[in-house]
Amino acid sequence: MDVVIKIIFALSSLTLIFSILMQSGKSAGMSGAIGGGAEQIFGKNEAKGWEKVLDRMTKIAAIAFLLCSVLAYIFV
C-alpha cells in the first residue's frame, strides 16, 4: 500500500508540474487583470481544445495529489 501511494503521489506531482507549465497565461499584466476579470467571472473565457484538456488534467492531478497526501499521512 505504501509503494502504491508513493507512485501515485509522484505521478500526480509530475502531471501537475507539466500541466501547469504548459498552460498559457490568462492575463496581460495590469490591463488584463482589470479588464479581463469580468470575462472570467461570467464565463466568456471558456477554455477550448488543448487548454480544456490541460485544465481538466490539472484538476484531476490536484485531487489525486491531495488524496495521496492525506493517505500518506494516515498510512505511512
| Residue range 15-72, pLDDT digits in tens | 999 999 998 876 655 655 565 555 555 555 556 788 999 999 999 999 999 999 999 9
pLDDT at 75: 85
Rg (CA), the chain: 16
Classify the phi-psi angles of 46: left when phi > 0, otherwise alpha if psi is within -120 to 50, otherwise beta.
Answer: beta
Distance CA 62, CA 39 (A): 25
Q: Residue 7 pLDDT more than 60?
A: yes
pLDDT at 28: 56
pLDDT at 33: 56
pLDDT at 48: 77
